Structure 1
Amino acid sequence: MTNRNLMMLGAAASSLFLINPASAQDAVSARPTSPEAIDGKGEDIIVTGSARQQRRFDVSYAVNAFDADAIRDLAPKNMAELLGTLPGIQIEGTGGEVQNITRVRGIPTDRGYLYFQQDGLPLYHELDGFFFNQGDGMNRTDLMTQRVEVVRGGPAPIYASAAAAVANVITRTGTATPQGEAQLTLGTTGLYRLDAYQSGPIDENTFYAVGGFIRQNDGYRDSGFPADRGGQIRANLLHEFGNGSIKVSGQYTNDHNIFYLSIPTAYPNDPSHSLNDYVDFFNGTLASDGLRDVNIRYRDGAGVVQNQRGDLANGRHMRFGNVGLDYEGDFGDWHVLAKGGYTEGRSHFDALYSTSNPVDANKFASGYLSAATTAFGSGVASLGYALAGSNGQTVYDPYADSGLVVSAQYRSIDTRFYSGQGDLSLTRKFETGLGSHDIRVGGYGALWGNRTFAAYQNYLLQVAGNPEVLDLVAYGADGAIKGYVTDNGAIQIAPSLNSGEFDGQVIALYASDTWDVTDRLRIDLGLRHEWYSYNGFRRVTEVANLGDPTTLADNSTRAFTGAIVSSSPKVEATNWTVGVNYDLTDNLGFYGRASQLQVPANAMVTINEGSSLASSKAKLFEAGLKLAFGRSYLYLTAFYTKFDPLNASFSAYNPATGRSDQTVTFVGTAENKGVEADGALHVAGPFKIAGSVTVQDPKYLDFANTSGADAGAIEGAQIVRQPKVYGNIRPTLDFVLGSDRLSVYGRYDYVSRRYVDVTNTTALPAYGYFGGGITYEHDAWRLQIVGDNLTNAHGLTEGNTAGDTLTGQGTPEAVFGRPLFGRNVRLVVSRKW
């Protein structure tokens, strides 16, 4: 990372030490565009991770809140991008609207154990379903989102299962004052979106709120079909009693979203030679119109060949409904809080995953010549390419293009799921001679399950954006077709097949004590124990030949044997936390915390062959400084995370089988030490600057393999795809023009060097990019123009995960990855009433 970039990222945080309290108090009275919805000192009330509502400044953990106005000002393209505004949360938001990556303080998973809730309960109990609940998968923001509160570390393991962080999406409820809003968004990516909500009273004690969105988007890359289409609606009724309230809520989501995967960006044998002329860095994707009618043939348990149809334009089709019931009331000194929810839905997931690097077309073909000769006879003289579906008649010459061909994997996954969850807690404050104790005891329970079918198929593609699907054809000396290596473009039919079903159950008991020793010293403790019980089965598969003599593609498929393997494991987990907060003055405070996070195996162990029941366990430590004057603030947190043991499996794609079956499992530790800063500076006049920065050292330690594989190259290596520095700066000029408001703002994001593999042999280079926008408000109208990656900066995320996590890509820097989206602009017009 250059000194210049370090200076840019550090400016927002370091300048806050020079805050002039007097000038901060004179700051222009305008709504802030930062994750702190009201002010830095914590007049914003936090409900996530504590027994009762508390000010942000008073809690002894790292927490941020985005209110509805802050979310609109930030104008994120997806939930991950919103969370990426915060320190300690590294994101890869290049997958599209959903299915993006979030990592918390170096935790070595693609979700970082970031647990999503809606109004204090998950929509689906487990952190990840089978390709449908990766946080943003079931949680989309719209005008019905009142606020999003995010707790990093701290008491997260006490208030949610397997959580190193909690993102709580709090929905809007009605009040005695009728209000509503409509918002239209138009984008240069072919985006058309309408959001709206309405709320108000039914009678003096009963209130309603209803709203949602509908949207179509051609997409951030040229896939040849709409990328996102659908919407959702959420509604609730709130009735207030003399001593509390009850709320009934409902949600229905029906949405299609494309999942963008990695693309080749340079020749593997000549990384200096770009493939941009064939697959555009900003607009290109391997998604193809030729995969709109996929047929995956497989043999069922009775020996009958079945057909699984797929359409890549279907994308990630999520349909689910949720109903919820929330009650809270005061009975003397006791506060009762009861929440319940039930979700049922279906996700049909169609996506094209990258597998191997592009290969010279002649070299690729020659690798199949011997097998083709054996299968189709000695009359086979050569192999050549043709467009799939043309019966070999439309010849394709790769050397008229890049000279390369590439294979990719179509994944068709159908999951039906349900999840019922509930939480009941009692809170009471006790006064003692040594301060007061606010004690909360509660229980959480959930019943959930899913039924899953997954079939994968590998295709041969042209190296191009929206490529043609290719056949590899065996020709005789006279040009006659002798047979096909492929089958209508499929290089391997159904090399992966998975089907199973499970039901899960968890019962958790938890307790916390917030002890106010004095008006400046607070100690809090928490304990949670969980009992899990799973019951499920998977259908056994074997290698099979479907018997088509005209193609090699079906010679080594997976087929169901008719047998099933059932299992009913039981696991437990214990988590605890201890924190202390001391406010030296009204503007300066300190806090510290230690927690244990135990992550047990989830219910998918009953479906996935070879899954381990072993749990991972982490110790989480943090110490923070809080500095706040008016709307200027700095929250500085040092953290230390150590997973011991960490059970980690790394897989690589095997071209011979068409599966990611080259798996090596290690047991060891993962360690991350770092500092995160979150701050805003408001000076006299219109200028303010906000931002966050995280500096960390995520690495693997003490890895060993039970089968004797050498782990020496991993020792001390930087954790896969995790940077040492990342953050953003957001300067703003706010002008109050009578009753109107004009805001001009910018944003710079930076991510330092990362690695695609555990041995750190192939790097993802550092990158930074600019965004900005203008907002004008007049009476009830609001007009916003926002742009992302305004300079078309280059940056790669992810790499080629199917093939490079073990040994890299064979190059010092990645030639295959998921690039940043190119420059895009959105116009947002809204009106409140």
Structure 2
Amino acid sequence: MKARYTLLGGVMLSAFAVSAHAQDADQPASTETEPPAANENVIVVTGVARGTNALEASVSISSLDAQTIVDTAPRSSAELIKQIPGIRSESSGGDGNANIAVRGLPVAAGGAKFLQLQEDGLPILEFGDITFGNADIFLRADYNIARVEAIRGGSASTFASNSPGGIINFISKTGEEEGGSFGLTAGLDYREYRADFDYGGSIGPDTSFHVGGFAHVGDGPREVGYDGSRGGQIKANITQRFDGGYVRLYGKYLDDHSVGYLPNPVIVTGTGSDPEYTSVANFDINRDSLHSRFFTPIRSLDGANQPASFDIDEGMHPVVIAGGLEAQFELGGFTITERFRYADISGGFVSPFPGSVGGAQAAADAIGGPGSSLFFASGPNAGTRVADPASLGGNGLVANIVLFNTRLNSLNNLTNDIRATNEFDFGGGSAALTAGFYYSRQDIDTDWLWTSHLFSVEGEGNAVLLDVRNAAGQPITQNGTVGFAATFFGNCCRRSYDLRYETKAPFAALSLEFGGLTLDGSLRYDFGDASGSVAGADLGGGRVGITTFDFDGNGVIDPAEAQTATLPLGSPSTVDYDYDYLSYSIGANYLLTDDLSVFGRYSRGGRANADRLFFNGDTIDPVTGAPVDDAVAVDFVDQAEVGVKYRAGGLALYATGFYAKTEEQNFEVTSQRQFDREYEAYGVELEGSYRTGPFSLSGGVTYTDAEIVRDTRQPVFEGNTPRRQADFIYQATAAYDSELFGLGVNAIGTTDSFAGDNNDLILPGYTTVNAFVNVRPSPGITVSLNANNVFDVNGFTEAEEGSIPANGIVRARSINGRTVSASVRFDF
């Protein structure tokens, strides 16, 4: 198989060409540049063989500069990504755990499956949708960022592994510009305080450095009653330049806590096609969350089946210690570019998920039988009986919580990308040949230690745990714990993963330029292997998942302790299989004039499936740990695009028509659903910007028509629109910036989409307006006021229910309400 693909690759390479040919010399992946609107010749380095001018590339590329990041003051990296045309970023998870997709590609089970998030040209994680380890959890945008580049479709299939949908690259400052900044930011209507700094410059005629970071503390954008946001990051690099190249060393340390927002209850009335969403009494869907200062430490068995305590305030807790090298030099007429990074990644993910939400008395009776009573298990009234369950928490509701407590023991990641490029004359024109090799090693070592609890539904971080006693007065729960397992999920999902994925990929690209015509193409052959083991009762084969354990040490096993989940560590499933696939991309770009070009491209790329393949019934053989069908190991994306680009003076306009056909094997944790599907999508993407003097205007809109064309597990959904796929997504920014002050307004929006694949309940479209004002009272000092979601609109990115349930309570994840911050920044 591998030999046949290698031979095919050689034949195809000789027949056609690469990704974007560069008019200028190779550029380092980390460099400061002028904003694209101000510098028409900005060189883009992401997802192409060599740095290229956007007008001359046969791919769709966008860039956000450092000033845009500061002005829009995104509350998370996912909010920043929403500014990029064609990118659907569901930024409702907090500082991470966002769902991100490109141009109609699906988000069936969370994360960024077909998209790669990079820092300085290398992936943060090899797979963007590791369960409870989405790549954006380990990414923070701060003063270190010089710009963000994004490529949609196109050569992303061949210049990065596992990213056929696109690449978003966060590029760091490198000290090429002398100076630095220090800034302080405080939330005015929410509690969070943050300090940022960065400084860079020369320490010799050919040596530069840059260092920067941030620290923050507070609730975050929603009131949770404790310091849900706390920690920070520091990054540094040093660059030595020499004739024909440079060498750069860099490092990063991130240790941060942030609240992971999961679905919250909201009341939905009306019909599925015309719903009305309103907040539950005493619980604001825009500002509250099912987190609380009274969610006391939780006991459970750990990954070694030993008793341990865990705190809900750990939240999303990324710990990253990373170091790397980037170098470029000339050798035998070739330009060699080498990038290497090793990242030690660990931490945790702890957040409450509502298995269901309903009336307090009904929930008590369901747990303890008719006539059961409720008692406060935490908070100021702990130990006392709930006198009137109908008025509990101001709404009479309780949430059956499954606490997603996942230990990220190791997501360690090693990556290396080396490539060589040579330019030469060819047939009266010019040619550029690039060849390279990519290697990565990705660990996925996690333990799922879920427990179940009864929780009141109250805002402002005041919700409390509840105990149930049956009609005879006997305790059924223990300190708010219904079971030391995922009781409300049928006791599933006590799991342990200890996996390692190795990915190897030779790639090659050729570009031919004849006057205004550029023909290009590229190939990538990925081959990899998965090894390790998984353990869990879900594997079947007589593996036991429930035991008893005396957590309170009183010598008696109570009903909650009788539901204790355990890992069958003595009977794991071995994982040992390999896979391979070929990706290719061919394109053409023609300069009609110096200001106008047209392009077309066809690409086919693959995405190797990782941890989500396991525990999925008939997808993986529980004895061998290998796929029962080799086809499920890799999903393919076929894409075609054609577009026109115009740029003159301060005006830039881009229009691209696209088509995508996507395969998907996946598994959704919250619904315990498996997916085996094929999607098709087509649409149009428009992007533009205009700058004259201090005024600037930019924006983009993407129209997508998507359909589920095949569903082997649930064929009833064939012909439907994929859930959460809107017809239109859009963003626009207008700004004025002078020496004394700057101001701007930014709008981001989406039209209606369906909550479920059954195409019943609608998630209403919405537009959020953000605004900023900057005042510079003296040189080097900037005072800013920034408001996100100025008009405090409701916006829902996902819902667990595809139709309105009988009690009218839907579990939905919403965007944050209005947040206003003030900051002062000192530049020196």
Q: TM-score range by the shorter chain?
A: 0.7 to 0.9
| Structure 1 match to 2:480 | 489
* Identical aligned residues as a percent: 26
Is 1:294 the counterpart of 2:298? The answer is yes
TM-score using structure 1 length: 0.86
1:577 to 582, 585, 593: 585
Aligned partners of 1:285 and 1:502: how far apart in 2? Answer: 33
Matches within 5 A, 1:522-561: 522-541=518-537, 542-546=544-548, 551-561=558-568
Matches within 5 A, 1:690-705: 690-705=698-713
Amino acid at match of 1:823: R
After TM superposition, give the deviation of residue 416 of structure 1 in Å.
Answer: 2.5
Query: What SS class does the counterpart of residue 80 from structure 1 fall into?
Result: helix
Amino acid at match of 2:509: S
After TM superposition, give the deviation of residue 497 of structure 1 in Å.
Answer: 1.0
| Structure 1 match to 2:468 | 472
Is 1:152 the counterpart of 2:152? The answer is yes
1:103 to 77, 101, 108: 101
| Structure 2 match to 1:341 | 341
After TM superposition, give the deviation of residue 325 of structure 1 in Å.
Answer: 0.9
| Structure 1 match to 2:24 | none
Contact 2:113 2:129 in 1 (8 A): no
Aligned partners of 1:560 and 1:493: how far apart in 2? Answer: 12
Aligned partners of 2:809 and 2:726: how far apart in 1? Answer: 15
After TM superposition, give the deviation of residue 783 of structure 1 in Å.
Answer: 2.3
| Structure 2 match to 1:718 | 721
Contact 1:40 1:629 in 2 (8 A): no
Deviations 1:95-136 (A, max 9, x none): 11222221111211231522012221123333234423x232
| Structure 1 match to 2:574 | 566
After TM superposition, give the deviation of residue 554 of structure 1 in Å.
Answer: 4.0
Aligned partners of 1:649 and 1:451: how far apart in 2? Answer: 18
Is 1:794 the counterpart of 2:788? The answer is no
Is 1:819 the counterpart of 2:814? The answer is yes
After TM superposition, give the deviation of residue 727 of structure 1 in Å.
Answer: 0.7
Aligned partners of 1:783 and 1:299: how far apart in 2? Answer: 49
Query: What SS class does the counterpart of residue 136 from structure 1 fall into?
Result: helix
| Structure 1 match to 2:389 | 398
Contact 2:187 2:193 in 1 (8 A): yes
Deviations 1:333-390 (A, max 9, x none): 210111111111211221112322x2233333333455xxxxxxxxxx7201111258
After TM superposition, give the deviation of residue 392 of structure 1 in Å.
Answer: 5.6
User: Structure 1 682/243 Cα, relative in aligned 2: closer, same or farther at 3 Å?
Assistant: closer
Deviations 1:638-660 (A, max 9, x none): 111111x432445664xxxxxx4
1:413 to 403, 406, 411: 406
Aligned partners of 1:816 and 1:54: how far apart in 2? Answer: 46
Amino acid at match of 1:546: T
Is 1:689 the counterpart of 2:685? The answer is no
CA RMSD of superposed structures (Å)? 2.5
Aligned partners of 2:302 and 2:823: how far apart in 1? Answer: 48
Contact 1:763 1:814 in 2 (8 A): no
| Matched length | 751
Query: What SS class does the counterpart of residue 86 from structure 1 fall into?
Result: coil
Contact 2:735 2:743 in 1 (8 A): yes
1:62 to 57, 60, 63: 60
Aligned partners of 2:387 and 2:808: how far apart in 1? Answer: 31
Query: What SS class does the counterpart of residue 363 from structure 2 fall into?
Result: helix
User: Structure 1 780/117 Cα, relative in aligned 2: closer, same or farther at 3 Å?
Assistant: same
Aligned partners of 1:273 and 1:534: how far apart in 2? Answer: 45
Matches within 5 A, 1:66-465: 66-109=64-107, 110=110, 111-132=112-133, 134-163=134-163, 164-175=165-176, 178-188=178-188, 189-266=190-267, 274-297=278-301, 306-356=306-356, 358-368=357-367, 382-388=371-377, 393-400=384-391, 401-417=394-410, 418-465=412-459
Contact 1:745 1:774 in 2 (8 A): yes
Aligned partners of 1:772 and 1:595: how far apart in 2? Answer: 39
Query: What SS class does the counterpart of residue 313 from structure 1 fall into?
Result: helix
After TM superposition, give the deviation of residue 531 of structure 1 in Å.
Answer: 0.9
Deviations 1:15-73 (A, max 9, x none): xxxxxxxxxxxxxxxxxxxx992338841111112222211111111111122122212
Deviations 1:431-475 (A, max 9, x none): 111421111000001123132211111211112223111112113
After TM superposition, give the deviation of residue 250 of structure 1 in Å.
Answer: 1.0
Query: What SS class does the counterpart of residue 137 from structure 1 fall into?
Result: helix
Amino acid at match of 1:490: T
After TM superposition, give the deviation of residue 313 of structure 1 in Å.
Answer: 0.9
Aligned partners of 1:244 and 1:336: how far apart in 2? Answer: 9
| Structure 1 match to 2:656 | 637
Aligned partners of 2:469 and 2:270: how far apart in 1? Answer: 26
After TM superposition, give the deviation of residue 557 of structure 1 in Å.
Answer: 4.1
Aligned partners of 1:367 and 1:494: how far apart in 2? Answer: 17
User: Structure 2: which 5+ runs fail to align?
Assistant: 1-32, 487-492, 538-543, 551-555, 621-626
User: Structure 1 733/67 Cα, relative in aligned 2: closer, same or farther at 3 Å?
Assistant: closer
Contact 2:750 2:766 in 1 (8 A): yes
TM-score using structure 2 length: 0.86
Aligned partners of 1:391 and 1:193: how far apart in 2? Answer: 35
| Structure 2 match to 1:509 | 506
Is 1:500 the counterpart of 2:532? The answer is no
Contact 2:82 2:748 in 1 (8 A): no
User: Structure 1 71/437 Cα, relative in aligned 2: closer, same or farther at 3 Å?
Assistant: same
Contact 1:751 1:766 in 2 (8 A): yes
Contact 1:508 1:530 in 2 (8 A): yes
Contact 2:137 2:316 in 1 (8 A): no
Aligned partners of 1:809 and 1:108: how far apart in 2? Answer: 23
After TM superposition, give the deviation of residue 403 of structure 1 in Å.
Answer: 2.8
Aligned partners of 2:727 and 2:494: how far apart in 1? Answer: 38
Query: What SS class does the counterpart of residue 484 from structure 2 fall into?
Result: strand
After TM superposition, give the deviation of residue 143 of structure 1 in Å.
Answer: 1.4
After TM superposition, give the deviation of residue 414 of structure 1 in Å.
Answer: 1.2
User: Structure 1 771/128 Cα, relative in aligned 2: closer, same or farther at 3 Å?
Assistant: same
After TM superposition, give the deviation of residue 809 of structure 1 in Å.
Answer: 4.2
Query: What SS class does the counterpart of residue 289 from structure 2 fall into?
Result: coil
After TM superposition, give the deviation of residue 681 of structure 1 in Å.
Answer: 2.8
Aligned partners of 1:583 and 1:243: how far apart in 2? Answer: 30
Matches within 5 A, 1:622-771: 622-643=641-662, 645-649=663-667, 653=671, 660=672, 663=673, 665-682=674-691, 687-705=695-713, 710-712=714-716, 714-734=717-737, 736=738, 740-771=739-770
Contact 1:675 1:694 in 2 (8 A): yes
Amino acid at match of 1:462: S
After TM superposition, give the deviation of residue 576 of structure 1 in Å.
Answer: 0.6
Aligned partners of 2:604 and 2:579: how far apart in 1? Answer: 17
Farther-moved stretch of structure 1 (49-58 vs 551-560): 551-560
2:517 to 501, 514, 521: 521
After TM superposition, give the deviation of residue 682 of structure 1 in Å.
Answer: 3.5
Aligned partners of 2:439 and 2:736: how far apart in 1? Answer: 48
| Structure 2 match to 1:373 | none
Amino acid at match of 1:81: E
Query: What SS class does the counterpart of residue 563 from structure 1 fall into?
Result: coil
Amino acid at match of 2:376: L
